[in-house]
Amino acid sequence: MSAEMANEIKLISGRSHPDLSEKIAKRLGIEVARTISLNYSNQETSFTVGESVRDEDVFVMQSTATGDVNEGLMELLIIISACRTASARRITAVIPNFPYARQDKKDKSRAPISARLVANMLQTAGANHIVTVDLHASQVRCCPDPKTRGVANRAAVDNLYAEPSFLRYIRENFTAEDCVIVSPDAGGAKRATSIADHLNTAFALIHKERPRPNVVGRMVLVGNVVDKIAILVDDMADTCGTLVKAAAVLKENGAKSVLALVTHGILSGNAIETLNGSVLEALVVTNTVPLGDKVERCPKLRVIDISPTIAEAIRRTHNGESVSYLFTHAPV
Partner 1 sequence: MRGTLIFAGSSCPALTGKICENLGMAPADAELSQFSNGETSVRILTSVREKDVFVIQSGSPKINDTIMELLIMISACKGGSANKITAVLPYFPYSRQSKKKSHRGAITARMLANLLGVAGVKHVITVDLHASQMQGFFKCPVDNLHAEPLIARWIRHNVPNWKEAVVVSKNAGGTKRVTSLADALKLNFGMVTTDKKRGSNMTASMIMNHLDGIERQPFLESISNQVRNNSSGPENGTAPADNGQPRASRSVADANGSPRRANGLSARTPSHPRPHSRAQALSQASTLSELDEESEPDGPEYNDQRAHEVTHGRLVQGHIVPDDFPSPATSAADASVIEEDPMAMSHASSFFAQPHALGGSGDAASSDEEDEILKNPKIEHMITLVGDVKNRTVLIVDDMIDKPGSWIAAAETVVKRGFAKRVYCIATHAVFGADCLEQMQACDCIDAIVVTNSYPIREDKARNASKLVVLDLSFLLAEAIRRNHYGESMSPLFLHMGD
Cα separation of 108 and 161, whole Å? 29
Neighbours of 27 (CB within 10 A): 18
* Shortest CB 165 distance to partner 1, Å: 22
* Shortest CB 31 distance to partner 1, Å: 16
Can you give the binding site for partner 1, defined by CB under 8 A? Answer: 36, 38, 40-50, 52-53, 64, 66-71, 73-75, 77-79, 81-83, 85-86, 99-100, 102-103, 106, 108-114, 117, 120-121, 123-125, 152, 213-214, 238-239, 266, 268-269
**DSSP per residue over 57-110, as a string?**
EEEEE----TT-HHHHHHHHHHHHHHHHHTT-SEEEEEESS-TTTT--S--STT
Q: Which is closer to partner 1, CB of 32 or CB of 176?
A: 32
Q: Is the dihedral of CA 166, 168, 169, 171 positive or negative?
A: positive
For residue 34, give the DSSP letter: P
Residues in the chain: 332
Q: How far is CA 26 from the centre of its chain?
A: 20
Quote the strand ranges of 184-300, DSSP E. Answer: 202-208, 219-222, 229-237, 257-265, 282-286
* Shortest CB 124 distance to partner 1, Å: 5
* Shortest CB 92 distance to partner 1, Å: 17
Q: Which is closer to partner 1, CB of 44 or CB of 252?
A: 44
Q: Which is closer to partner 1, CB of 30 or CB of 74?
A: 74
Q: Terminus-to-terminus CA distance in the chain, angstroms?
A: 34
Q: Which is closer to partner 1, CB of 148 or CB of 201?
A: 148
Cβ-Cβ contacts under 8 Å for 133 (sequence gap 6 or more): 96, 97, 159, 160, 161, 162, 263, 264, 286, 288, 306, 309, 310
Q: Which is closer to partner 1, CB of 117 or CB of 226?
A: 117
* Shortest CB 41 distance to partner 1, Å: 3
Q: Which is closer to partner 1, CB of 150 or CB of 320?
A: 150
* Shortest CB 307 distance to partner 1, Å: 22
Q: Which is closer to partner 1, CB of 89 or CB of 251?
A: 89
* Shortest CB 180 distance to partner 1, Å: 29
